[in-house]
Amino acid sequence: MRILLQFPEGLKQEALKHAKKLEAEGNEVIVSASPTFGACDLAIDEAKKVGAEKLVHFGHAEFHHVDFNVEYVPYAVDAPLSMLGSSLPELDGFSSICLMTTIQHVHQLDKIREFYESNGKRVVLNRPNGFAKVNGQLLGCDAGNVSTLDREVDAFVYFGGGLFHPIGALLLTTKPFIRVDPFENRVERIDQLRETYRKRSRGRVLTSLQARNFGILVSTKNGQYNLNLAMLLKRKVEGNGGNAAILVSNTFDYESISNMLEFDAFVSTACPRIATEDTDRLRKPLLSANELVEVLKMQQEASLRSR
């Protein structure tokens, strides 16, 4: 069988090892050298181009169904649990918590849960919903299964590295939010970032109020492609007296997009975190779909007041 292997950046160092193992089993193996941002970014086009019968995607769980033979190989990481004790002072006064982590650490959730329960906490795991497939799994792009617990718990606890994953959940919740990072040996409350991101969003909206020409970005990645939304937003812009064009790419090159000087602002219909995290990479405002709708509403209200 001809197989294409795909690795995220942190696992590319193991590509040759896995390729040789599969070759020893009688397979013909090719390795994708392209970057990947998750299971929303499968190298299906590459697999078809090289005639692969299967794509083996390392490091992530299934995101959604695709019409190709894909084998997902989640990568379990045993993170040290020594920081859990340091999180207890931050949780003083909170009787119930929602505990979450990335797919790399979900196998450790039972031990983490036992620790908090032994210290008097009622622990709730966010349930599979949307693109998340495992209890306690948190995705950076889809935290709906966390936001539904906002009324049920007193606080949220994220165990894992970095801020990318917890920020998505933070912005959809209102309760105290604690990050336990076993790799940085850090425990911190990140509630204040809600206001930071709210101000950034407000800034993008206000900066776009004079915009008339909008470039609407569509990604061809399997889990980010949303042409229907882009067409809807284009009609909304044009119905409001503006101009819009749909700009399609697999991976956005922000330097290339910035060369499209006719556009006053851009709108992402791909990963919902693009407008949140990548806005500084463009010289013009980069809006989410919801932010564009807010801009158009404010433009309509301003037009009515001026009559």
Report pTM: 0.88
Are 299 and 260 in a shared domain? Answer: yes
- pLDDT at site 68: 95
Domain boundary among 40, 73, 106: 73
Which segments of the chain have a pLDDT < 50?
Answer: none
Domain that holds residue 147: 84-191
Are 46 and 142 in a shared domain? Answer: no
- pLDDT at site 88: 96
Domain boundary among 42, 73, 104: 73
- pLDDT at site 222: 92
- pLDDT at site 140: 82
Tell me if 79 is assigned to some domain: no
Domain boundary among 191, 211, 240: 191
The structural domain count of the chain equals 3
- pLDDT at site 278: 87
CA distance 35 to 178: 30
Are 177 and 92 in a shared domain? Answer: yes
**Can you give the CATH number for the domain in which 227 is found?**
3.40.50.11860
Residues 6+ apart with CB under 8 A from 178: 87, 90, 91, 155, 156, 157, 158, 187, 188, 189, 190
Are 270 and 245 in a shared domain? Answer: yes
- pLDDT at site 134: 83
Tell me if 78 is assigned to some domain: no
